[in-house]
């Protein structure tokens, strides 16, 4: 049998392991409060749970707020992936524990939150100085009985990003005003330009646009009702807007006008850096992605033109948990963060388009230009696009899932599946995902 | 299952390391297993190919972490490291607040791996070499627990942890995985071949109780398998993401949870993310080197002697 | 089964040296009693920790899962559960996605598991040689298992990308047309199997290596005295010597293949990863569970898939046992 020495050593090791374990157990804290915030006399701690794209931490706004409001400490957490963030948020809402005082809400989740978790969120209706938003933005986070569950951060008005050098090689105009005029008012004209491009382009293997789904999304997002009607019924299969977008996107796919890619999916980034397509329908927040991935070599080759019609893709809200011990303080912070001045600053720093009407009208916002995109006046283009977005935007609970399913359906068309068959498949999948 | 072939070598003289004292059943342990052959050139060539294929993604992580965001997405991508490795690593360390995360992950993965190894060896020994009523049924039950897909437990588990007051605390991550069916089953299979019955028998004859047999006979034999279980459990616990993400938060994160902060923003800074991934993998490599040494035949003899 | 020896272990009275040297009757009887308690009770004490922890932290979620599979319930509204009895199961049975996923799970399982275990066996055999830098090779073989999912995803999309990927570039050099790895069914399944093989071969190799270390050297010596070549030694000494561990890896790989979802998720990335391709061409059962639960947030249906997977595995093992019994009866 092992000598006493080795046995003692093992015993000590085991004891150490057990000790470490009990130490870990011992430091368990209280799990009683709903959120992480706390108030202790003048000292207030506010916790925030955010996801990737809100630009609040990056711009140093939180430090500024802490400086101007002594005694306030803000702890913000940013998760990279919204899908994971929302799953965790739902789990915590269901348990009623482990929440942050302030929680970010993506536009695709707004409907679900207003329908199912309105009682968990504090009402902003009576908070002062919150009447500067675009009307449709705030209506998206308002419940049927008028409770406002959050305040808007950014929005995603759409434009068309295009390669000037490729347009020139296809004998098309290159000036952004003229390019905008080519397709003004009708997405059909945008596809028509694509046919010309395909016919006349000399200079290699370049597609007109990156994806059929990008075109489809931009068209659908331009209508007040998309996949659901105001009563919350699924209408994607009856809505003429969806049908029309499907047909036109299928035309583009079948006529080989697309590079058969999908935005933000594998292959799209190398497509950007190698310049395999001439246009991409782009919401404002996509621009920084394009400039990063297309790289220095393509600087000045890209430009931005107005889209045929106004449409919105993306954007977020900040909500406050009703049972938070620092509810008023958190609401005050949210109101400040989404105030016109702060939204304008985030736009100038990061390019997120303000959801505040007032910020959009700010001359310093309008004057913003972008060097990478040939000096395009982004403030002006996207500001104007924001005004064109329909004043009503009906959201549905499963908008995001349905959008993804349509994108996959169009990918099938791009790979050669007949469009009617692809529609049927898509429709079946939506029924299953929603039902 | 195949223990019947073992008794044949009870009387085999100890050949490989004659300087060790040969006494009783322990003589068996000193047999240097397997390694009678030296590797030929072909073996080296094959292993080098294996090593290159295995390490390439990690190497490329390092390359990606050493350049900047634009260069990574170029085609063809760069194959040689750029100049920014250390600055990106430092940036990732700061932005993800890795200090605390590293300590937490070390505690979590260390405790889980130690406890898994210990309990797996204990239970694996019982299942392999001890006779008790319901043994086969219980073993099937252990295997059965592996068949349950783990993802679904998250929601009820979270509610349970909130009730216990453990949400945002490390115990919430540690306790559910203190044991592993994989470990128990592997150890059972390993010991049923590696541990000669006569050894246990000899221990009984000496009047040792079960725990003593476990300490002084089973543990030395089980050492290579314990090292392997430790390594794979540690890696698994270290890299586990979904459950820790749900139950912990950034004030008290593990490494993968902390790393999610690096992918915030509309444009993901690929080189920063890769620098973070590299930081998260380095401790694992260090652990491999320490425990990889344990999977060497001959260790057993040393353990018995020690 | 080692019945002959375990009988000995369960032990009649051991004649061993009594440590109660002063020979007091009571203490001897107490010793015997303790010994019986030890022999009878220790095995249960040894396996108890596993079952205690399992019961504490996995049993309730398990019951909850089965309960929830009988309901129509979404993650957002967990408190509102609608009792639907076995509707979810009936629906799953009639769902073409389920049968498609089952088929994919089986094909990917076969393409990935068979080469993986064979290669692992070979690598373990090589690692078992006396050699220089053996620690390096051992560590290297486990690196894929430790590589973060994000890094692996980046590398493999780069390798399998349609327009600019390395493999298509290589194929182009030898005049082969580019393969659409993601969109076409079989290329996608092969690519995913490649990722599985890459990630798990070293893991299995180390398990084999640990088991090989326990094979006594004299068996090899006896074999070589009989004039067995290295290959014959491998087949007749090494492989039988680690048979239990091979059984273990086969069981584990079968379970792993049934639950496979990480690798296809990596391979597709984003929405395509979750649904296993635009046409579900590489959706596995594990991915279907994931899609229902964490994309559609339909917890009831997700739980149903989980139970279906569990039943499938149980069925597979029962079938395997039956076949084995029939074969041993006929032979």
pLDDT tens-digit map of B68-99: 776 766 666 677 888 889 999 999 999 888 99
Interface test with C, best of A266, A267, A396, A415 (most C CBs within 10 A): A266
Inspect the interface and report whether the beta carbons of B295 and C289 lie closer than 8 Å: no
* pLDDT value for A27: 40
Give yes or no for a contact between C297 and C76, defined as CB atoms under 8 angstroms apart.
yes
Residues of chain B found within 8 Å of residue A75, distances taken between Cβ atoms: 251
Number of helices (H) and strands (E), helices first, in chain C?
17, 2
Kindly state the tokens that stand for A373. 């995109």
Alpha-carbon distance A127 to A332, whole Å? 8
Instruction: Kindly state whether B136 is in contact with chain C, defined as any CB-CB distance less than 8 angstroms.
Output: no
- Domain covering B93-305, topology: MetI-like fold (1.10.3720)
Identify the weakest region by mean pLDDT among A63-77, B109-123, B180-194, C73-87.
Answer: C73-87
Kindly state the tokens that stand for A312. 């919105």
The stretch B93-111 carries a mean pLDDT of 93
Percent of chain A with pLDDT over 90: 70
Kindly state the tokens that stand for C293. 């639960």
Instruction: Kindly state whether B174 is in contact with chain A, defined as any CB-CB distance less than 8 angstroms.
Output: yes
- Return the residue matching tokens 């506010």: A46
Question: Which residue, among A8, A7, A2, has the nearest Cα to B304 in the 3D structure?
Answer: A2
Residues of chain C found within 8 Å of residue A417, distances taken between Cβ atoms: 279
Inspect the interface and report whether the beta carbons of A266 and C275 lie closer than 8 Å: no
A148 pLDDT band (50/70/90 cuts)?
Answer: very high
* pLDDT value for B160: 85
Alpha-carbon distance B304 to B154, whole Å? 44
* pLDDT value for A269: 86
* pLDDT value for A133: 95
SS3 A378: helix
Q: Measuring CA to CA, how many Å separate C53 from each of A419, B153, B165, B239, C50? A: 54, 14, 18, 21, 6
B305 pLDDT band (50/70/90 cuts)?
Answer: very low
Q: Measuring CA to CA, how many Å separate C217 from each of B28, B189, B217? A: 10, 20, 20
C-chain residue closest to A112, CA distance? C76
Instruction: Kindly state whether B78 is in contact with chain C, defined as any CB-CB distance less than 8 angstroms.
Output: no
Percent of chain B with pLDDT over 90: 41
Q: What angle do CA B181, B183, B184 make, to 5 degrees?
A: 65
* pLDDT value for B122: 96
Q: Please state the pTM of the whole predicted model.
A: 0.85
Taking only the tens place, the pLDDT of each residue in B24-83 is 344 444 444 444 567 788 999 999 999 999 998 888 889 888 987 767 666 666 778 888
* Range 140-179 of B in CB contact (< 8 A) with C: 141-149, 151-153, 155-157, 160, 175-176, 178-179
How does DSSP assign chain B, residue by residue? --GGGGGGGTTPPP-S-TTSPP-GGGHHHHSPPS--SB--HHHHHHHHHHHHHHHHHHHHHHHHHTS-HHHHTSSSPP-S--S-HHHHHHHHHHHTTHHHHHHHHHHHHHHHHHHHHHHHHHHHHHHHH---TTHHHHHHHHHHHHTS-GGGGHHHHHHHHHHHT-TTSHHHHHGGGSS-HHHHHHHHHHHHHHS-HHHHHHHHHTT--HHHHIIIIIHHHHHHHHHHHHHHHHHHHHH--HHHHHH--TTS--HHHHHGGGG-SSS--HHHHHHHHHHHHHHHHHHHHHHHTTS-TTHHHHHHH-
What's the mean per-residue pLDDT of chain A? 89
Residues of chain B found within 8 Å of residue A20, distances taken between Cβ atoms: 107, 110-111
Alpha-carbon distance B212 to B203, whole Å? 9
Inspect the interface and report whether the beta carbons of B265 and A53 lie closer than 8 Å: yes
C-chain residue closest to B260, CA distance? C150
* Sequential pLDDT tens for chain C (331 residues): 333 333 334 433 344 444 444 556 677 777 788 888 888 889 999 999 999 999 888 888 888 888 999 999 888 777 788 899 999 999 999 999 999 999 999 999 999 999 999 999 999 999 988 888 888 999 999 999 998 777 787 788 778 888 888 889 889 999 999 999 988 999 999 999 999 999 999 999 999 999 998 888 888 888 888 888 888 989 999 999 999 999 999 999 999 999 898 889 878 877 788 889 989 999 999 999 989 988 888 889 999 999 999 898 889 888 988 998 888 877 6
Which domains occur in chain C, in start order?
A: 82-330 (1.10.3720.10)
Q: What residue segments make up the domains of chain A, in order of their start? A: 38-155+315-364, 156-313+380-434
The stretch A328-334 carries a mean pLDDT of 96
A-chain residue closest to B159, CA distance? A95
Give yes or no for a contact between C156 and C195, defined as CB atoms under 8 angstroms apart.
yes
Interface test with B, best of C47, C123, C153, C195 (most B CBs within 10 A): C47
Interface test with B, best of C146, C206, C242 (most B CBs within 10 A): C146
- Domain covering A156-313+380-434, topology: D-Maltodextrin-Binding Protein; domain 2 (3.40.190)
SS3 C231: helix
| B300 has pLDDT over 70 | no
Inspect the interface and report whether the beta carbons of B119 and C50 lie closer than 8 Å: yes
The stretch A32-44 carries a mean pLDDT of 83
**Which residue among C97, C269, C297 places its CB closest to the CB of A265?**
C269
* pLDDT value for A334: 96
A58 pLDDT band (50/70/90 cuts)?
Answer: confident
SS3 A319: strand
Give this complex's ipTM. 0.83
Percent of chain B with pLDDT over 70: 81
Taking only the tens place, the pLDDT of each residue in A250-263 is 999 999 999 999 88
Taking only the tens place, the pLDDT of each residue in A348-388 is 988 899 999 999 999 999 999 999 999 999 999 999 999 99
Inspect the interface and report whether the beta carbons of A2 and B115 lie closer than 8 Å: no
Burial class (CB in 10 A: 0-12, 13-18, 19+), B20: middle
Which run of H or E residues covers position C136?
Answer: helix C134-146
- Chains touching chain C, criterion 3+ CB pairs below 8 Å: A, B
* pLDDT value for C151: 76
Give yes or no for a contact between A275 and A345, defined as CB atoms under 8 angstroms apart.
no
Give backbone dihedrals phi and psi of B191, rounded to 5 degrees, phi first.
-70, -30
Give yes or no for a contact between C313 and B147, defined as CB atoms under 8 angstroms apart.
yes
- Across the strands, what pairs with A51? A79
Alpha-carbon distance B232 to A47, whole Å? 36
Taking only the tens place, the pLDDT of each residue in B218-263 is 998 998 899 999 999 999 999 988 889 888 888 889 999 898 888 7
Give yes or no for a contact between A159 and A382, defined as CB atoms under 8 angstroms apart.
yes
* pLDDT value for A57: 82
Kindly state the tokens that stand for C244. 């239990």
Inspect the interface and report whether the beta carbons of A270 and B216 lie closer than 8 Å: no
Interface test with C, best of B22, B37, B54, B207 (most C CBs within 10 A): B54
Which CATH superfamily includes the segment(s) A38-155+315-364? Periplasmic binding protein-like II (3.40.190.10)
| B10 has pLDDT over 70 | no
A10-33 burial code (b ≥16 CB/10 A, e <16): eeeeeeeeeeebeebeeebeebee
Which DSSP symbol is given to C179?
Answer: P
End-to-end CA distance of chain C: 19
B211-242 burial code (b ≥16 CB/10 A, e <16): ebbbbbbbbbbbbbbbbbbbbbbbbbbbbbbb
* pLDDT value for B7: 35
CA atoms within 13 A on the CB side of C214: 30
* pLDDT value for B208: 86
């Amino acid at each position: 049998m092992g000598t006493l020495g080795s046995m003692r050593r093992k015993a000590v090791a085991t004891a150490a392991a057990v000790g470490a374990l009990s130490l870990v157990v011992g430091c368990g804290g209280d799990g009683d409060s709903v959120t992480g915030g706390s108030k202790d006399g003048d000292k207030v701690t506010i916790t925030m749970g955010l996801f990737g794209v809100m630009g609040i931490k990056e711009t140093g706004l939180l430090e500024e707020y802490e400086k101007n409001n002594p005694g306030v400490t803000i702890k913000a957490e940013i998760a990279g992936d919204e899908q994971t963030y929302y799953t965790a948020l739902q789990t915590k809402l269901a348990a009623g524990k482990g929440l942050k005082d302030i929680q970010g809400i993506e536009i695709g989740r707004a409907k679900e939150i207003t329908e199912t978790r309105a009682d968990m969120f504090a009402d902003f209706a009576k908070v002062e100085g919150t009447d500067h938003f675009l009307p449709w933005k705030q209506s998206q986070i308002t419940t049927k009985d008028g409770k406002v569950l959050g305040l808007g951060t950014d929005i995603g008005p759409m434009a068309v990003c295009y390669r000037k050098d490729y347009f020139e090689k296809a004998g098309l105009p290159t000036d952004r005003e003229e390019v905008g005029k080519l397709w003004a008012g009708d997405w059909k004209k945008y596809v028509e330009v694509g046919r010309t491009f395909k016919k006349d382009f000399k200079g290699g293997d370049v597609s007109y646009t990156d994806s059929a789904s990008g075109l489809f999304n931009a068209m659908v997002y331009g209508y007040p009702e998309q996949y659901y009607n105001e009563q919350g019924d699924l209408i994607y299969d009856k809505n003429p807007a969806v049908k029309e977008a499907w047909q036109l996107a299928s035309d583009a796919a079948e006529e080989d006008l697309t590079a058969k890619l999908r935005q933000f999916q594998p292959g799209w980034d190398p497509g950007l850096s190698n310049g395999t397509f001439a246009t991409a329908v782009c919401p404002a927040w996509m621009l920084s992605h394009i400039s990063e991935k297309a790289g220095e070599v393509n600087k000045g080759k890209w430009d931005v033109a107005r889209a045929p019609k106004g449409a919105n893709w993306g954007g977020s809200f900040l909500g406050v948990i009703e049972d938070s011990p620092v509810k008023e303080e958190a609401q005050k912070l949210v109101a400040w963060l989404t105030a016109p001045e702060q939204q304008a600053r985030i736009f100038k720093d990061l390019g997120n388009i303000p959801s505040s009407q007032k910020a959009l009208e700010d001359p310093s916002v309008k004057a913003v230009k972008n060097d990478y995109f040939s000096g395009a006046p982004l403030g002006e283009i996207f500001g104007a696009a924001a005004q064109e977005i329909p004043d009503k935007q009906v959201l549905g609970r499963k908008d995001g899932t349905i959008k993804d399913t349509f994108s996959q359906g169009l990918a099938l068309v791009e790979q050669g599946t007949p469009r009617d068959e692809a529609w049927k498949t898509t429709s079946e999948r939506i029924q299953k995902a929603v039902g | 299952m195949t223990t019947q072939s073992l008794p044949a070598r009870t009387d085999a003289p100890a050949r490989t390391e004659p300087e060790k004292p040969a006494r009783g059943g322990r003589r068996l342990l000193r047999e240097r297993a397997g390694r009678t052959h030296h590797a030929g050139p072909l073996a080296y060539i094959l292993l080098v190919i294996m090593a290159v294929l295995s390490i390439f993604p990690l190497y490329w992580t390092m390359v990606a972490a050493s350049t900047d965001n634009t260069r990574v997405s170029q085609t063809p991508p760069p194959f040689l490291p750029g100049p920014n490795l250390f600055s990106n690593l430092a940036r990732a360390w700061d932005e993800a607040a890795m200090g605390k995360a590293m300590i937490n992950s070390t505690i979590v993965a260390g405790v889980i791996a130690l406890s898994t190894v210990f309990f797996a060896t204990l239970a694996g020994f019982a299942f392999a070499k001890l006779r008790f009523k319901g043994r086969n049924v219980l073993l099937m039950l252990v295997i059965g627990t592996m068949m349950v897909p783990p993802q679904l437990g998250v929601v009820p588990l979270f509610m349970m942890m909130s009730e216990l007051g453990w949400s945002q605390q490390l115990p919430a991550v540690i306790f559910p995985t203190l044991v592993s069916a994989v470990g128990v089953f592997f150890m059972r299979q390993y010991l049923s071949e590696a541990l000669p019955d006569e050894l246990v028998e000899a221990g009984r004859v000496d009047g040792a109780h079960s725990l003593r047999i476990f300490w002084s006979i089973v543990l030395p034999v089980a050492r290579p398998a314990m090292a392997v279980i430790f390594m794979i459990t540690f890696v698994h616990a270290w890299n586990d993401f979904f459950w820790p993400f749900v139950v912990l938060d950034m004030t008290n994160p593990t490494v993968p949870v902390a790393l999610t902060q690096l992918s915030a923003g509309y444009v993901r800074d690929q080189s920063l993310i890769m620098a973070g991934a590299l930081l998260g993998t380095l401790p694992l490599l260090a652990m491999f080197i320490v425990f990889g040494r344990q999977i060497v035949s001959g260790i057993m003899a040393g353990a018995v002697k020690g | 089964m080692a019945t002959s020896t375990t009988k000995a272990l369960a032990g009649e009275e051991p004649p061993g040296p009594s440590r109660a040297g002063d020979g007091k009757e009571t203490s001897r009887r107490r010793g015997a009693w303790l010994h019986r308690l030890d022999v009878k009770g220790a095995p249960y004490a040894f396996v108890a920790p596993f079952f205690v922890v399992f019961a504490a932290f996995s049993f309730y979620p398990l019951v909850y899962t089965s309960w929830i599979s009988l309901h129509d319930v979404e993650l957002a509204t967990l408190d509102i559960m609608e009792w639907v009895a076995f509707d979810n199961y009936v629906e799953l049975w009639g769902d073409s996605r389920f049968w498609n996923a089952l088929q994919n799970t089986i094909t990917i399982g076969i393409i990935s598991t068979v080469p993986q275990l064979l290669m692992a066996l070979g690598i373990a055999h090589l690692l078992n040689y006396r050699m220089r830098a053996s620690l390096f090779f051992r560590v290297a073989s486990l690196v894929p298992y430790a590589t973060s999912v994000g890094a692996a995803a980046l590398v493999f999309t780069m390798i399998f990308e349609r327009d600019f990927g390395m493999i298509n570039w290589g194929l182009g050099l030898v005049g082969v047309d580019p393969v659409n790895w993601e969109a076409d069914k079989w290329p996608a399944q092969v690519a995913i199997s490649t990722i599985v093989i890459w990630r798990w071969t070293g893991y299995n190799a180390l398990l084999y290596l640990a088991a090989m270390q326990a094979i006594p050297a004299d068996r090899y010596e006896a074999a070589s005295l009989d004039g067995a070549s290295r290959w014959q030694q491998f087949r007749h000494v090494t492989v039988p010597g680690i048979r239990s561990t091979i059984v273990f890896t086969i069981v584990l790989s079968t379970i792993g293949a049934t639950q496979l979802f990480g690798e296809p998720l990596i391979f597709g990335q984003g929405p395509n990863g979750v649904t296993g391709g635009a046409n579900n061409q590489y959706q596995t059962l594990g991915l279907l569970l994931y899609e229902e639960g964490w994309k559609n947030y339909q917890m009831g249906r997700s739980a149903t898939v989980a139970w279906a997977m569990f039943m499938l595995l149980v069925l597979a093992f029962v079938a395997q046992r039956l076949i084995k019994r029939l074969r041993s009866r006929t032979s």
